[in-house]
Each structure stands twice: as C-alpha cells, then as structure tokens.
Structure 1
C-alpha cells in the first residue's frame, strides 16, 4: 500500500494539482469572466434599461418561430430564450445541427434578423472563467483530455484509499503539525490537508467520474440505443422519464406560445427561461417550458433542476416538474444530485467558498505529496532507475517546480494577458489561451535550467509580484481599482483582485521563507550524519 500510494500519487500528482487548482478557480468562473470583460459596466447598464422597459414577449416568440421555420425547419429541436437575465435582454434561438450538436443564433428582438458576432458585442473576446472550467476536466480536449483526467481521477481514488491504509495514525497526525522540521513538516502538512478534506476529496473524484459515465462506459448505451450523440440523448430522455413519441408525419404549425408559457409559469411558480419545442411543425410536437431558479430555490435543495411543464401541440399538459424535483425516479435523481454535488450548484455563496477552500486544500495535498517525495530522496534514494536515477530525480524536481509554482504563474499570466492584449486583436480569446500555455512552458524550461532551490525562489517571487501588481495593471489599463469597485457594488471584480492580492502575499511569504532558509536543511544534515554513524 505504501508503494502504491507513493508512486501512483507521484505520477498523477502534477496533473491532479492542475485539476484541483483550476477546478477551484472554476467555482468562481462567473466572477472571473465578469472581471475579464471590463466593458460589462456599459453593457449591464444598457441591459438594466432594457429590462425596465416593457417586453412584448408574444412578439418575440413569433419572431423566433418565424426565423426557425425559415432557416431550420428540419431540426428535431428548437429552443427559444425570450429574455436572458444574465447577458442582457436579447432574444436567442438554439437547435440541433446536422451533426446532432447545439447551434445558436442571437436575434434582433425588434426585427427577428440574425445578429452577427453577437458573442463579442459586449466587449473584448475572451474565454473568461470558462477556460478554467474546460481545462480542469478536459485539458481543452473533449476527447483525449477527458479520458486523461478520468484516469487521473481513478488514480486519485487509489491514492486516497492506499493513503488511509498506510497512515495508521492518520487521525492523530491530523492534530499534529511540526513547523521547520524539514521532511516531518511536509508530511504533517500533507496529512493535515488530506484528512481535513478527505470526504470532499472522495466525493469530488467519484462524482467527477460518474457525471461523464455515458462517455466512459458507452457499451451499455451503444448496445441498447446505438452510437452517437442522438443515442445518448435518447438514453438520457428515457432516464428522465420522457416517453418516446415518434413524429406523426402530419404537418402542424407551432401554436401561439405566449398563452402556453403563461399557463406554465402559473404551474411551476417561476418565470420562463427557455421554451423547448421537440419535433417542431409536426402534430406530435411537445412544448416544454423551463423556469429560472432564484437564489432561494438553490438553498432549499441539492438538486438544481428548475421547474418544467410540457404540453402537447393542443395545449394539453403532459408532464410537470416542480423546481428541485426530477422525473424518472431514483436513477434520474441520483444522476442529477451527483452532477450538482460536483459543480456546487446549491447552497449559494457559502457552499462556493467551501468548495473553493476544499479544492485548494486538495491542491495542497497533491503539491505537498510531490514535494515530500523529493525531500525524502534528496539525501537518500534506492537507485530505482539504475544509472539514470539522478537524472530521473532531477527531471522530477523540475516538474515539481513547473507543475506547482509554474501553473499558478500561468493562471495569473492568463489574467494579465486579458488586460495587455489589444481589444481588437483577431482571435483574441485564442491568444489569451496561448499566453497561458506559453507562460507555463517557459516556467518548465526555467525549472530545468536552474538549480531547484533557485527555481522555487524565483518562480514563487514572480508569482507574488504578478498577483500583487494585478490591481495596478487594471488601474493602468482601465483606470479601475478595488476601492472603486467596492464603492459601486462590483464585488465580483473586487473579489478577483483582492483574492489575487491574498495569493500574492502568501506566495511572497513562501519565497522569502525559502530564501532565508539555509540551502541544506538541518534535518537533512542530521539524517545524513546519523546514516554515516550507523554505517
């Protein structure tokens, strides 16, 4: 068990540290996106003006249906968002394209014409906080990357179980931390971070695998439904209790949606968010009305489902789902709760901060484990790799620096790129992402070219400087700063910059402490002296 914990933990610790760090940032992906789109103030003011103005929702429904009928009559699903409370008062339509994937268009709410470049209309093009979301579970590759993270999650479960078996004094060690003791301190820190958040670590790894089970275990679905996105959608529809109703082949126009939507809102007690029409312009069409969740709804239930009412083309109620409930019984509820547990879609801001802190503790668990591995082997190793042992451990030292400090530098560098890249730059969002990976690659090269201790000091110092100077960068490029943000009630932007300052202070303290410490730790000298005396 000790061998399994050590080596499985080591080879996956760098990737899992990246998953936990970016996953922790992903908890606050919306505030990060808010900060990375500074033009949002003007857009939000315009949206507030539009929201205060009366909306002719019936007209918007008519415009959207006309657009879909002209341009996407063969699509098996139409989805209409008459008002988007998060991104302004626009009109948006979605459908399944010929490959079975989601496609969308933003429409002019006055004329119904499709708007061009609507995703960049509010300001600079950026992936925002979604970069951290995508990276933490797909590495920006929904195919191979998703599988790599899945194997790493399985390895994490193995490391957690073997770690519990290995550390017989795990709960006693939890209450013990000895500072300035070299290897002993790293082990205490590793044990404390692990035991403190052990239930969270098990939950987050397990649910991360379960929510993508349709991808990781495709054989049962393929055997019963066939292959492809359409087969998965059919499986999920039946899991959620949706009855399969084939098209009748009898053409029928989409009925007036406003009376149906108004009836649905009275039934579910929520404002309509989206109207989903399956098999449109067929007499067997079904019209589903989905509501908006308010903050109070997410506090009452772990399940984050919204209210839903589904009607036939004649206005007959087919299905009704109150907010927080699911259709399809225990299997569907289990799947829903697994996803909401992983993505912290309940409990409001308190749960988000809890997940953020526990996620950082998970990253600390991975980081201290990787450092502990090298601390134990600097003075003594078992010649595991023969003549190449020294080179392998030098490689691991470099990977430790780049995977831990280097990734953190790349994350803050991504925020710097958002402020420094020209707003009108072509493919700007892609360039922000390239800056992230370029900075990370440079930290890896630096870690291999320098002595490990020097590399740690330099990279932690650079991380501290970039974090502490982030508010000054915003002030220099935009004239904005945390005091002004707090004064106007923009706590999302202020939270990003104040959090950066906190991380800057912490990393600066670590760099200064390492710089002041002797190059050879007393504990290592003592252990070597004991070994020589014993020999």
Structure 2
C-alpha cells in the first residue's frame, strides 16, 4: 500500500471525524445509555414496584380500559416485563364528525398500570425513552432535519472508521501500547485502544444505524416500486383485514386467555396487544411477539376474533428483504440481548463514546503543537478547544442534572417530564458559559468533578429518600435499581478520577518558533569556523 494513499486516508479520517464529531459524541453517548432504556424507565419512577405477574397487570389494563374508554376506536397495550415499570396503555377515541385525525398521542389518552394491576400514581418522566429518541431525533430540532443530520454524521463515522483502519498500519500492535504521561502520544494510544477494542461493534452499529434511516437517506427504491405509501406499509407490516364497526354491542374476550394462546402459537412471550373496535361485534385482538425474544424486530403476530377468541389470521413468514432489514435494526437496537450481552453492548458503546471524545481532544492537541506559539493560540483554535470541553464535559453534566431533576422536581408539577429535559439543556448551557469564561484545563476539572459528584450522590439519595435504595432492593431481590445505582457510582468515580488526572497534569513547555530561531542563531554563533 503506497505511502501517499495512506496519507490521503489519514486526512480523510481526521476531517470526516472532526466535521460532525460533536454530533457523533452526543449520538454515541445517548445511544449507549438507551441500551438500558427499559431499566431507566423504571429507575426514574421509583414509586413503582417490579412486575412479577404480567397477566395480572394485563387483566388490570383490560378492566381499566373497559371503564375509561369502552367505545374507543382502538386500544393499545404494551405488555409488562420485570424490566418495565408496568403496562403502558394508549387509546384512540372514536373520531368526531368534521375533526381531522391527530398524529401522535394525547396525554389524556394514556395511562400506566402498575404491578398490582391498578392505575399507577407515579412521577411524569420521559425516562430512558428520552435518550433513545435523542440519539436519532435530537431535541428542539424538527425531526426530519435531525434525522438528516444524524444520518450524515453516521456516514462520516463510517468513513472515519474505514479510513482509520487503512491509516493505522500497526493498529493491532498499537492496541497493546498505552504510554502514560506522554501528551499527544498518550491521547493517540487511548484513541487507538478504544477504537480497536470494539472495532467489529463500531462497524456494525454504524452500518446498521444507516440501515434504520435507509428509507430517508435513499428513498429511490421505495419511490420506484411503491406509488402508494399504504401498499408499502402492508408489504412491510402485514396485518389482517380491517373490519368496520357494526355498532352491535358484544363483550370483549378475556385478554389474558388470548395472550396465552398467542404466546403458544408464536413461540415466545408477547410484547404488544392491539384491540380494534372494543365492545363491538367486530372487535379484533392482535398480539405481537416481544422484540426482546427475536433478533428480527419485525415480529410476527396473531389476530383473534374479539368476541369468540378464535384465531382468524397469523402473519406470514417475512420476505428476504424485510427479514434482512428487521435483523439489521435488531442488531442496532439490541433489544434481543439478554443481560450479559446487553452489558457487552453497553461497554462497547462506552468505548465508542471514548473513541470519539479522544479523537476530538487529539485534534486540538496535535493542532496546538503546530501553532507558531502554542502558548498564545489564535481565536479560532481557542474557540474550538473551548467548545470541545463544553460538549465532551458539559453534556454529561447535563445528563447528571437531568437525573437529579427526576428526583427533586415536585411530582405534581405541570409539564414535569418536559422540565426534566429542560434541566439537561439549562445545565449544559451553564457549562458552556463557564467554559467560555475560564481556561480549558480548569474547565475540564470543574465540569468533570461536578458531574462525578452528582452521579455518586444519586445512589446515596436513593438509599434514604426513595423506596428503591440498595438495601430495599436487596430485600426485594430486585437487582435492576441496584445495577443502575452501581453503574452511576462507577461512572461518577471515573469522572472524578479523570478530573484529578487533569489537575495533576503538567505539560512540558514546548518552545515557540521564535524561541527555536533564537536558539538556532546562538548555535550558529558558537559553531567553530571551518
């Protein structure tokens, strides 16, 4: 391989990683957190107990919906699990004449059924769902623009990974090399190690991330083959024939009986139940298999007559293209993973986040050494260096602040879930102001130290002021809250340790160009005459 080609790839690697590096850092960090989406949904509602009898919760959901929305157009029930806070319900009222259909749900059309089968009284929160949505929809940004931006950043990430493999001819040897206290060399070693450590994961998660957005980024195949969006939907997500409401009242079948039969037919636990025309002779009950039981996210389903309980339709085997897309999305989301594999996903995601962060820091370290006077850099360099600190240390501070807002905001507060999210961005903005007012080195120390302290104090708060502290969870043999608290402790300790390393670091003073010229002139005067 020619040296010129490798050097060209080095430039491509540098700029493809830098141009959208901050977006990639946010996407990688929130996507990594989203691997524990369901667990965070429950951790952020400490009032809720672990679900031990899913069918009891389902029966309570049916009872609630029959009393709350007996004449609704449809009901939707997310089946509970031991990692979920309960059964999430949503219903669509019968459309009124002249009213335009609304996209998305209304809060008054949603409810949560707890482990006891009764409507749960718990704090409003976006929970882990916020991190899941943020990592491809961002926030405060129109969804279509956010997905284009994330899609372009993901393509740059794939280019950076592939060009990085080409550039580093000794990449695997460098993985086993970590030189400490060596400035730029140490950052490069850390960047190489985190990149090679989970290289197959980085390639997989980046490529499959593009697959999840393929209809947006490359819509030509869809446009060429489907002029009607409804036909495309039917091809990708087959379903039984829709039957209009008859307006003849009929009791709805017991949903627990239907779901048990569906789980037997589908070969795995159920994840989602949809009831069309409840309370009518034309009622239909559809049960989907849980995505956590299959690699393919496009899970099969069975449809039943809502009055007799007889199975009337089962989804056909998916085609090759549909199955491939479903498997790619399943690999990316990791919903199929058990606890051990989910930890591997999470740790590889942490490595990816550190890889992006170290690459951004390495860029500033290398560029500083090339400046005419590294001790007095120009405005553009100083701005990028400060923004690096604001993103890499400020965003984690925002996340820690959001978790504290989840614990401290009044439970009856209006728009409480939204204010949890607002707290993240308020803290992030405060971090930016601090970074702009201070030197980068001291900003790293302050932001990382505060973030570490906030994360470590959270489990202590949980222990004394919630019902899900470590001792209460141990007595209930409930390991999910314990796992979250221990993870927060480890991340907090790592943040404080990093702040201490930055505080102790004393860089070697490098001579400016003027210094080198003076030294060269002096050397010339002292050189012996020939």
The answer for the alignment partner of 1:6 in structure 2 is 14
Distance 2:466 2:52 in 1: 23
The answer for the alignment partner of 1:199 in structure 2 is 200
The answer for the alignment partner of 2:358 in structure 1 is 368
**2:494 is the alignment partner of 1:494:** no
- Residue deviations 1:395-420 (CA, integer Å, cap 9, x gap): 11111111111111111111111122
Contact 1:51 1:89 in 2 (8 A): no
Q: What is the CA-CA distance between 1:139 and the residue it aligns to?
A: 0.6
**2:368 is the alignment partner of 1:378:** yes
Distance 1:483 1:272 in 2: 32
Distance 2:234 2:485 in 1: 43
- Residue deviations 1:72-94 (CA, integer Å, cap 9, x gap): 3xxxxx34539755454787545
The answer for the alignment partner of 1:185 in structure 2 is 186
**2:46 is the alignment partner of 1:38:** yes
**Structure-2 change in CA distance of 1:248 and 1:221 (3 Å):** farther
- Residue deviations 1:375-399 (CA, integer Å, cap 9, x gap): 112231389xxxx981111011111
Contact 2:372 2:513 in 1 (8 A): no
Q: What is the CA-CA distance between 1:127 and the residue it aligns to?
A: 1.1
Q: What is the CA-CA distance between 1:153 and the residue it aligns to?
A: 0.5
Distance 1:354 1:363 in 2: 14
Contact 2:386 2:436 in 1 (8 A): yes
Distance 2:498 2:65 in 1: 61
Q: What is the CA-CA distance between 1:345 and the residue it aligns to?
A: 1.3
Distance 1:381 1:495 in 2: 46
The answer for the alignment partner of 1:464 in structure 2 is 452
Report the aligned-residue RMSD: 4.1
Q: Secondary structure at the match of 1:310?
A: strand
TM-score w.r.t. the length of structure 2 is 0.80
The answer for the alignment partner of 2:288 in structure 1 is 290
Contact 1:413 1:435 in 2 (8 A): yes
Distance 1:286 1:37 in 2: 33
**2:508 is the alignment partner of 1:521:** yes
**2:299 is the alignment partner of 1:309:** no
Q: Which of the residues 322, 340, 347 maps onto 1:357?
A: 347
Q: What is the CA-CA distance between 1:503 and the residue it aligns to?
A: 1.4
Q: What is the CA-CA distance between 1:497 and the residue it aligns to?
A: 1.9
Distance 1:506 1:262 in 2: 46
The answer for the alignment partner of 1:75 in structure 2 is none
Distance 2:103 2:488 in 1: 37
Contact 1:29 1:130 in 2 (8 A): yes
The answer for the alignment partner of 2:400 in structure 1 is 412
| More moved, 461-470 vs 524-533 | 524-533
**Structure-2 change in CA distance of 1:195 and 1:96 (3 Å):** farther
Contact 2:57 2:87 in 1 (8 A): no
The answer for the alignment partner of 1:124 in structure 2 is 123
**2:103 is the alignment partner of 1:101:** yes
Contact 2:251 2:280 in 1 (8 A): no
| More moved, 140-149 vs 89-98 | 89-98
**2:217 is the alignment partner of 1:216:** yes
Q: What is the CA-CA distance between 1:370 and the residue it aligns to?
A: 0.6
TM-score w.r.t. the length of structure 1 is 0.79
Contact 1:173 1:188 in 2 (8 A): yes
| More moved, 93-102 vs 412-421 | 93-102
Q: What is the CA-CA distance between 1:204 and the residue it aligns to?
A: 0.9
Q: Secondary structure at the match of 2:378?
A: helix
**Structure-2 change in CA distance of 1:218 and 1:305 (3 Å):** closer
The answer for the alignment partner of 1:396 in structure 2 is 384
Q: What is the CA-CA distance between 1:327 and the residue it aligns to?
A: 2.7
The answer for the alignment partner of 2:6 in structure 1 is none
Contact 1:60 1:91 in 2 (8 A): no
Q: Secondary structure at the match of 1:342?
A: helix
**2:77 is the alignment partner of 1:81:** yes
Q: Which runs of 5+ in 1 are unaligned?
A: 73-77, 110-114
Contact 1:21 1:360 in 2 (8 A): yes
Q: What is the CA-CA distance between 1:349 and the residue it aligns to?
A: 0.6
**Structure-2 change in CA distance of 1:515 and 1:402 (3 Å):** same
Q: Secondary structure at the match of 1:14?
A: helix
**Structure-2 change in CA distance of 1:268 and 1:503 (3 Å):** closer
**2:25 is the alignment partner of 1:17:** yes
Q: Secondary structure at the match of 1:327?
A: coil
The answer for the alignment partner of 2:437 in structure 1 is 449
- Residue deviations 1:123-171 (CA, integer Å, cap 9, x gap): 1111111121111111124232222111111111111122122212222
| More moved, 337-346 vs 458-467 | 458-467
Q: Which of the residues 324, 329, 339 maps onto 1:334?
A: 324
